[in-house]
């Protein structure tokens, strides 16, 4: 009897379970889901922080859920490009770094111009122009900017005051003069270097070249359009090292080293993204909390017309794989994330806002001491170089020659000549 009852109960339970699965399957099939492939920071700035879950209104209005798959930057890009290369992918939206969106990669993603025309993003012209241009490949818009890191000149106000300097530099020449003056031993007995820079990123030599009106590679792939400007930039870096206003360890200095040197008062100046302000002034980590401030990186006084330079910016954008399902829902998500309200909310949650108007918001500006300065810099910022297949090799060659010039093993003119000869073959035809 027990065996018979157990068997009957089992069959009844199995039948009920099958029915539940059938109904549940139909319910799940009707529920909208966005599958997003991103870095964890993108999920966090949308869902947690001072502004809370700022994408919740969209989820509720669409009766949709967001399924996040998060990876570190390089694995994320590799996974996204693999998914977009398949016959079909479950991911509706992927987050792309600006310097990875080459012409070949852009073919893997849906052109967004038609969607933007039919169902436009709110105040599209408010998005920083340089970020939009970085996601426009062969006149096709393939990504919508969502986050940026724009470079600033940070300085230790306490050290400047100790050296008798009343204000941060307004020109590159003043920066060099102050950096040399600030290469001293502070009253606390700390050996101070005027400026600390990492040697493994193109950001820094590009910033110095742009200060003289030059560049490394323009967005239309012109290599060093003003070679003299690049030579002048390298000459300034070499002079700073020779004057000991750059650390002797320059050749092995990395990005995080700069943060440590500034927090410990071992350097007076450095170049880092505006977003590093909070970290540099973290009372638990920094010996100079509240004393490390930032300005726009200054151009040279020799540049005619007093034209402001373009700082280097790195940005992320949202893109729709060409092989994705439900592109309409994906565009709805992108529109919501790009709206003024959500951009402001993400900014309050720690994101680098891509809208110029966000910086003018009184509440946001009050909580971000650098908001006004960053807004001005972002409006003119552009990437260190455009995306192209050999970009990694080109940067490596560039940095190798820059280092030889800064260390005095080549003249700036010799280094620039070598850069031209070695990088030109790597550029797109």
Looking at the structure, do residues 179 and 264 belong to the same domain, yes or no?
yes
pLDDT value at position 349? Answer: 87
255: pLDDT confidence band, cut at 50, 70 and 90?
confident
Looking at the structure, do residues 280 and 330 belong to the same domain, yes or no?
no
Bridge partners of 35, per DSSP, are: 67
Greatest mean pLDDT among 22-26, 70-74, 210-214, 307-311 lies in: 210-214
CATH number reported for the structural domain that contains residue 360 in this entry: 3.40.190.10
The C-alpha atoms of residue 55 and residue 379 are separated, in whole angstroms, by 26
Looking at the structure, do residues 50 and 172 belong to the same domain, yes or no?
no
Find the mean pLDDT for residues 76-83. Answer: 96
- Residues 387-423: pLDDT tens digits? 999 998 999 999 999 999 999 999 999 999 999 999 9
In sequence order, what DSSP letters do the residues of 186-230 get, joined into one string? -TTS-EEEEEE--SS-THHHHHHHHHTT--SB-TT--B-S-HHHH
For the whole model, what pTM was predicted? Answer: 0.80
Q: Tell whether 326 is covered by a domain.
A: yes
Average of per-residue pLDDT values in the chain: 91
Looking at the structure, do residues 100 and 211 belong to the same domain, yes or no?
no
Residue pair 276/259 in contact (Cβ under 8 Å)? The answer is yes
Looking at the structure, do residues 170 and 185 belong to the same domain, yes or no?
yes
Q: Tell whether 373 is covered by a domain.
A: yes
Q: Quote the strand ranges of 18-72, DSSP E.
A: 32-38, 64-70
Looking at the structure, do residues 364 and 392 belong to the same domain, yes or no?
no
pLDDT value at position 90? Answer: 97
The C-alpha atoms of residue 278 and residue 12 are separated, in whole angstroms, by 61
Q: Tell whether 3 is covered by a domain.
A: no
- For residues 14 and 410, which has the higher predicted lDDT (pLDDT)? 410
The C-alpha atoms of residue 175 and residue 194 are separated, in whole angstroms, by 9
Looking at the structure, do residues 202 and 331 belong to the same domain, yes or no?
no
Greatest mean pLDDT among 28-42, 231-245, 346-360 lies in: 231-245
Q: What is the DSSP letter of 22?
A: H
Whether residue 289 is predicted with pLDDT greater than 80 in this model: the reply is yes
Q: Tell whether 14 is covered by a domain.
A: no
- For residues 308 and 48, which has the higher predicted lDDT (pLDDT)? 48
pLDDT value at position 30? Answer: 56
Looking at the structure, do residues 160 and 251 belong to the same domain, yes or no?
yes
Looking at the structure, do residues 129 and 165 belong to the same domain, yes or no?
no
Whether residue 25 is predicted with pLDDT greater than 70 in this model: the reply is no
Looking at the structure, do residues 357 and 252 belong to the same domain, yes or no?
no
Q: Tell whether 368 is covered by a domain.
A: yes
- As for how many domains the chain has, the answer is 2
- Residues 49-59: pLDDT tens digits? 889 999 999 99
* CA-angle at 172, arms to 168 and 177, nearest 5°: 70
pLDDT value at position 222? Answer: 97
Looking at the structure, do residues 116 and 220 belong to the same domain, yes or no?
no
219: pLDDT confidence band, cut at 50, 70 and 90?
confident
In sequence order, what DSSP letters do the residues of 276-311 get, joined into one string? GHHHHT-TTT-TTTTTEEEEPPPPPTTSGGGPPPPP
Looking at the structure, do residues 294 and 317 belong to the same domain, yes or no?
no
Q: Tell whether 242 is covered by a domain.
A: yes
In sequence order, what DSSP letters do the residues of 69-125 get, joined into one string? EE--HHHHHHHHHHHHHSS-BS-SEEEEEGGG--HHHHTTB---HHHHHHSPPTTGG
Find the domain containing 262 and state its range: 151-312+385-426
16: pLDDT confidence band, cut at 50, 70 and 90?
very low
Spatial CA neighbour of 402 closest among 171, 241, 266, 273: 241
Whether residue 283 is predicted with pLDDT greater than 90 in this model: the reply is yes
CB hemisphere CA count around 390 (13 angstroms): 14
Q: Tell whether 28 is covered by a domain.
A: no
Q: Tell whether 2 is covered by a domain.
A: no
């Amino acid at each position: 009897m027990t065996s018979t009852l157990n068997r009957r109960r089992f069959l009844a339970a199995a039948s009920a379970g099958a029915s539940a699965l059938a109904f549940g399957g139909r319910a799940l099939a009707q529920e909208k889901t966005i599958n997003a492939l991103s870095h964890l920071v993108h999920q966090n700035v949308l869902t947690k922080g001072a502004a809370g879950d700022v994408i919740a209104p969209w989820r509720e209005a669409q009766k949709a859920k967001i399924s996040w798959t998060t990876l570190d930057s390089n694995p994320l890009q590799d996974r996204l490009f693999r998914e977009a290369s398949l016959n079909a992918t479950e991911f509706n939206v992927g987050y792309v770094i600006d310097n990875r969106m080459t012409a070949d990669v852009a073919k893997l993603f849906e052109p967004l111009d038609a969607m933007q025309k039919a169902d436009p993003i709110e105040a599209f012209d408010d998005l920083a122009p340089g970020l939009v241009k970085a996601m426009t490949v062969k006149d096709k818009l393939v990504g919508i900017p969502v986050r940026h890191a724009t470079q600033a000149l940070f300085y230790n106000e306490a050290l400047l005051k100790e050296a008798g300097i009343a204000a941060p530099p307004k020109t590159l020449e003043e920066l060099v003069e102050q950096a040399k003056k600030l290469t001293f031993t502070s009253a606390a007995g700390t050996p101070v270097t005027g400026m600390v820079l990492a040697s493994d990123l193109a950001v820094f030599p590009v910033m110095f070249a742009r200060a003289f009106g030059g560049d490394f590679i323009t967005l239309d792939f012109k290599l060093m359009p003003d070679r003299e400007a690049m030579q002048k930039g390298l000459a300034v870096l070499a002079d700073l090292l020779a004057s000991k206003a750059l650390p002797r360890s320059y050749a092995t200095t990395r990005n995080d080293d700069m943060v440590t040197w500034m927090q410990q008062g071992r350097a007076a100046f450095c170049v880092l993204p505006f977003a590093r302000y909070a970290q540099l002034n973290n009372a638990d980590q920094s010996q100079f909390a509240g004393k490390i401030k930032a300005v726009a990186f200054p151009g040279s006084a020799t540049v005619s017309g007093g034209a402001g330079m373009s700082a280097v910016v790195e940005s992320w954008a949202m893109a729709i794989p060409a092989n994705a399902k439900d592109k309409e829902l994906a565009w709805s998500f992108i529109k919501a994330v790009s709206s003024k309200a959500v951009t402001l909310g993400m900014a309050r949650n720690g994101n680098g806002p891509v809208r110029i108007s966000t910086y003018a918001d009184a509440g946001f500006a009050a909580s971000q001491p650098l908001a006004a300065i960053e807004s001005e810099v972002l409006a003119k910022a552009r990437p260190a170089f455009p995306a192209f297949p050999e970009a990694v090799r080109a940067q490596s060659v560039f940095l190798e020659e820059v280092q030889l010039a800064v260390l005095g093993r080549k003249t700036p003119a010799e280094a620039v000549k070598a850069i031209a000869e070695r990088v030109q073959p790597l550029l797109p035809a």
